[in-house]
Amino acid sequence: MTLPPSCCWTGDCLELLDQRQLPDAVAFMRLHGWQDVAEAITSMAVRGAPAIGIAAAWGVVLAARSGEDLPSAIQGLRASRPTAVNLCWALNRMQAALASSGSVDVDALAGVATALHNEDRLLTQRLVDHGVSLLAQGCQVLHHCHTGAIATGGVGTALGVIAAAHTRGLLRHAWLDETRPRLQGAALSAWELGCLGVPCTVIVDGASGLLMRRGEVDAVMVGCDRVAANGDVANKIGTYNLALVARAHGIPFYVCAPGSSIDLATPDGDAITIEERDAEEITHVRCVSVAAPGAQAWNPAFDITPAHLVTGFITEFGVLRPPYCEVLSALPLPNQL
């Protein structure tokens, strides 16, 4: 099965894959205003750091087509989700294009959004190629959350590496954390790998330790929403636990990080804003209550994995090893130029 694109510009609206409907239905939303795009990002109809950035860029184009105040639109889109740096990176690119033209040129802004999408397609493929080089014949890889093609403008990041390893005959099996509370691993990663014919098994998030103890995991590969200048990583909640368990079992822990996710302006993980979401995502599953009535819930969407737990960063520039402060600062990053 061919995977659907995460988004498509029709010339007058943005068609966006509604990831909330998967795996039950492949449904697209037709968005005509930047407010619709901001709501799609906040509600996680679109998710995955690169896909969020691309969608936000098209949100600026929609605002320009409607003759709305662009600084207000950009500010509104920027506030839709605070942790993923790709969102700000894409909006900064759009803002710079607006400033350089001196006037609102819808076609020029659409050209920048198209370029962002095309760049992501090329750079994620390079990242995947570097990631596959780390995997041995017959490997079993554990993945957290969802980082596949529909979370990007191209082939995906960590899940893209897993899919490519299967295509090249290297992968024996993929293990997929279900990824509570929104179950992106069970709903999205399993669906995407199933479409591609990749052998995979969903596990509860807490099963990774037992799986590693039994020798069933050769490498852990995850994505990221932001990498700080010192190499600390913000990613989906549960990533930190997974890194600790991998270190305890001597298993390499790799983070797939496109350059647009590396933020040298953020010194370390403590400086990263962690989004906190509605408690109902924990107390309910698909609108059905699973918690005791009146139970309180804390729902951080991300956690911080310290740099010393990261074996290597897989990027479009290659595989990066410590010391991360020096290595990351030397990269020609698109969001730093």
| Burial per residue of 208-235, b for 16 or more beta-carbon CB atoms within 10 angstroms, e otherwise | beebbeeebbbbbbbbbbbbbbbbbbbb
pLDDT-derived band at 83 (thresholds 50, 70, 90) equals confident
pLDDT (0 to 100) of residue 291: 95
**Residue 160 and residue 296 in one domain:** yes
Among candidate residues 124, 152, 169, the one where a domain is terminated? 124
Give me 291's structure tokens. Answer: 């918690």
Torsion of CA 147, 132, 334, 235, to 10 degrees: 30
Domain of residue 162, residue span: 135-329
Q: How many residues does the chain have?
A: 337
For residue 337, being part of any structural domain is answered with no
Span 160-172, average pLDDT: 98
- CATH code of residue 52: 1.20.120.420
> Do both 200 and 316 map to the same domain?
yes
H or E segment to which residue 98 belongs = helix 85-101
- Residue 1 in domain: no
Domain-located, residue 2 = no
Residues 68 and 144 in one domain: no
Tally of domains within the chain: 2
User: In the prediction, which pLDDT does 334 show?
Assistant: 63
- Regarding whether 140 and 273 lie in a shared domain, the answer is yes
Residue 335 pLDDT greater than 60, yes or no: no
3-class secondary structure, 93: helix
> Omega into 50 within 30° of 0, i.e. cis?
no
The answer to the question of residue 335 being in a domain is no
Residue range 219-245: mean pLDDT, rounded: 97
pLDDT tier, 337 (very low <50, low <70, confident <90, very high otherwise): very low
Residue 300 and residue 161 share a domain: yes
Q: Do 191 and 262 sit in the same domain of this protein?
A: yes
**Catalytic annotation present for 12:** no
**120, 177, 225, 303: the active-site residue:** 225
**Does residue 129 lie in a domain region?**
no
Question: Token pair for residue 134?
Answer: 């780390």
Q: What is the pLDDT of residues 95-131, one digit of tens each?
A: 999 888 777 889 999 999 999 999 999 999 999 999 9
pLDDT value for 118: 94
| Predicted pLDDT of residue 82 | 81
* Residue 151 forms part of a structural domain: yes
- pLDDT > 70? residue 336: no
Q: Is residue 310 part of a domain?
A: yes
pLDDT of residue 311: 98
pLDDT tens digits, one per residue of 136-160:
999 999 999 999 999 999 999 999 9
Is the domain of 105 the same as that of 152? no
Helix pair angle (85-101, 106-132), 10° resolution: 140
Claim to verify: residue 266 and residue 302 sit in the same structural domain: yes
Q: What is the largest CA-CA distance in the chain?
A: 62
Shared-domain flag, residues 176 and 299 = yes
Residue pLDDT, tens place only, 32-79: 999 999 999 999 999 998 999 999 999 999 999 999 999 999 999 999
Q: The whole model's pTM is what?
A: 0.94
Q: Which runs of E-coded beta strand occur in 196-250?
A: 200-203, 219-222, 226-228, 233-236
Q: What would the pLDDT profile of 248-296 be if each residue is shown by its tens digit?
A: 999 999 999 999 999 999 999 999 999 999 999 999 988 899 999 999 9
Last residue of a domain, one of 59, 93, 124: 124
Question: What percent of the chain shows pLDDT beyond 70?
Answer: 99
303 and 195 part of one domain:
yes
Q: Is the pLDDT of residue 218 over 50?
A: yes
DSSP single-letter state for residue 300: B
Tell me the pLDDT tens digit for each residue of 197-213: 999 999 999 999 999 99
How far apart CA 51 and CA 162 sit, in angstroms, is 19
What are the residues whose beta carbons fall under 8 Å from the beta carbon of 107, sequence distance 6 or more?
A: none
d(CA 77, CA 81): 8
CATH number where 237 lies = 3.40.50.10470
Q: At which of 124, 150, 185 does a domain end?
A: 124
Q: 97 and 166: one domain? A: no
| 146 and 97 within one domain | no
Confirm whether 276 is domain-assigned. Answer: yes
